[in-house]
Amino acid sequence: MSDLTQRQTEILDFIRSQLRETGFPPTREDIARQFGFSSKTGAQDHLMAIARKGFIELVPGNARGIRLLKEEEALLSHQFELPLIGSIAAGTPITAETNVDTWLRIDPELFHPRADFLHRVAGHSMKEANILDGDIVGIHVQDDADNGQIVAAVMPHPKTGEDEITLKRYFRRGKKITLKPENSAPAYKPLEIDLAPLDGDSQEQTPFRIAGVYAGLIRPRG
Amino acid sequence: MSDLTQRQTEILDFIRSQLRETGFPPTREDIARQFGFSSKTGAQDHLMAIARKGFIELVPGNARGIRLLKEEEALLSHQFELPLIGSIAAGTPITAETNVDTWLRIDPELFHPRADFLHRVAGHSMKEANILDGDIVGIHVQDDADNGQIVAAVMPHPKTGEDEITLKRYFRRGKKITLKPENSAPAYKPLEIDLAPLDGDSQEQTPFRIAGVYAGLIRPRG
DNA sequence: AGGTGTACTGTACCAAAGAACAGTACAGAA
DNA sequence: TTCTGTACTGTTCTTTGGTACAGTACACCT
C-alpha cells in the first residue's frame, strides 16, 4: 500500500498529527525539530520525496504550504468504517475489496471484541440467539473459536457452490465439529462435520472455515 | 448562536473554505486580497475580533497560525456520531449537552428512520421484541407515535423521581394510553395512562412524554 | 458628549519560513 | 563499478507574513 519509507511515513504522520492538534501544517523547522535534525533541509528533502510519491502537495512560496492528498484512504474514509461483506469470490481473502458490498460508518471499537467486518444476516436460523433476519452482525476475524461461541462460517452454498457466510454456534469434540443453528423449528438442523477423513488432504477439500467470531450486531430498523 | 457580525462570519467562512481547498489557513494578506482590503491590518483586526469571541485561536509568531475552534458543532467531530443519553436532568431538552454520557461513532443515517440519539437499555422488559439488556437503541426524535410502535418514553423513576428513558410499546385509544413491556413474565405489567383528567392542566403534571420512536439497535458484544 | 466596537487605510519593521546550493554517508540495483 | 535514492548537515539568500503604531469614519449605547 504505502510506497513511503519508514522515515517518510513518520514524517507524514507528524504532519497529520500537527494538523489535528494545531489546525495548520508544520514548517520545515518544526519537522526538523521534531525529528532532531539540525538543519531544515533534511525536512525539506523528505517533503519533496513524499510529494513526489503523491502523498502531499507542496504549494511553492507559501508558508506551511503542505496539502495532504490521499486522505480519503488514510484517515477520513475507512478510519471509523467497516466493510459489509456479502458473498465471497473464489480464492479471495474475506475482506478483499471485491467482496466488499459497501462501507458503513461504524466505529469498529464499538464491538467487543473489535469488529473487522460486517455481514448482513439472511434468514431466521439464529432467531433464538436474538439475531434476526436483516440484522448486520459484526465479526472479529480469527480462525478458530471456543465451544459454544457463535462463529461466521464460510462454506459453499449447497446449490450454487459459491462461498458464503453463515452464522452458527460452534462446538468441537475431538475431530467432530457441530455447527448449530439457534432455531428449534424442525427445518433448522445442526451440521456435523468430521475432520478425520480430511487429515492429510489438501486444504481445498475442507468444506468450511471459520472467518471469525460474532462480536455483536446492528439492527438498522425499528 | 453566532455572536459574529456579518463581516466576521464571512471571514470565518473564508478561513474554513481555504482550509478545505488548500489544506492550510490563509494569511492576513490572503484575507485582505479576498475581500479587497488594501491593507492586511484590516484582516488582522477581524481575526483578533473573531478570536476574542472564541471562534478561532491565533497562534502568535506562527505563519497562518489560525486554529478553528467550535468546529465540533460545524463540521468535523459529530458529523457521523450520535450522543448516548442516560438520565435526563430536570427541565433540559433530551439531547442537551448535560444529558450526553458520550458520543459513539455511528452514522445516524444507518438507522431507519434516522437516529437522533442513542440509549442503553437496562433490564429485560423488551426481551420479546428482541431488545436485550445492554443493547444500545437508536431513537428518532418525534413527539408522538403510531399504535403498536416502540417508543422511548420519558418519565420520572418511581423511586428517585429523576426523569429517565424507558422503551415501551405504545397504544392509544381515545384518551387512554397503554405502554406495554414486551415480556410476558408476570413482573412486567403494562402501564395505563388516562389523559382525560389532565386536560387543561399544566404541562408539569403530565406523567410521561414521548422522546421518540425506536429506530433500531446496536448490540456491542458477541 | 464621550466611550466603545466595527471596519477599514497606510506605513514600517523584522522574525518566520521557503528555497537553493554544496556537501557527506550509506544501501541496493543495474 | 557506477548510478540512484534515502537520509541527513551546514550555509546563505529572499520572500512571506505577523505585528505594532497611527489614523479615519461611522454606528450605537449611556
pLDDT value of position A151: 96
Q: Report pLDDT digits (tens) over B112-152.
A: 999 999 999 999 999 999 999 999 999 999 999 999 999 99
Q: What is the pLDDT of residue A18?
A: 87
Q: Minimal Cα distance from B110: which residue of A? A: A220
- pLDDT at residue A76, rounded to an integer: 44
Three-state DSSP state, A213: strand
User: Do the bridges between strand B150-156 and strand B163-173 make them parallel or antiparallel, or are there none, so unpaired?
Assistant: antiparallel
The question of whether B189 is a catalytic residue gets the answer: no
pLDDT value at position B1? 39
Tell me: pLDDT of A204 over 60.
no
Lowest mean pLDDT among A37-51, A118-132, B170-184: A37-51
Q: Which residue is nearest to nucleotide C19 (CA to C1')?
A: A61
Strands (E), chain B: 56-58, 66-68, 82-85, 100-104, 117-120, 136-141, 150-156, 163-173, 176-180, 191-194, 209-219
Return the closest-CA partner of residue B194 out of B171, B220, B176, B221: B176
Q: Is the whole model's pTM more than 0.85, yes or no?
A: no
- pLDDT in the model for residue A199: 55
- pLDDT for residue B27 is more than 90: yes
**What percent of chain B is predicted at pLDDT more than 90?**
44
Give the mean pLDDT of B77-85: 75
- The torsion angles phi and psi of A145, rounded to 5 degrees, stand at -155, 160
Q: Do B62 and A24 touch (CB under 8 A)?
A: yes
- pLDDT tens for B155-194 read 887 777 788 899 999 999 988 999 999 999 999 999 988 8
The span from the CA of A65 to the CA of A73, in Å, is 21
Name the β-bridge partners of B100: B85
Helix axes B6-22, B40-52, angle to 10 degrees: 100
Residues A110, B132: C-beta atoms closer than 8 Å: no
Which of A83-87, A108-112, B199-203 shows the highest mean pLDDT? Answer: A108-112
What pLDDT sits at residue A99?
83
Q: Mind listing the pLDDT tens digit for each residue in B8-20?
A: 888 888 888 888 8
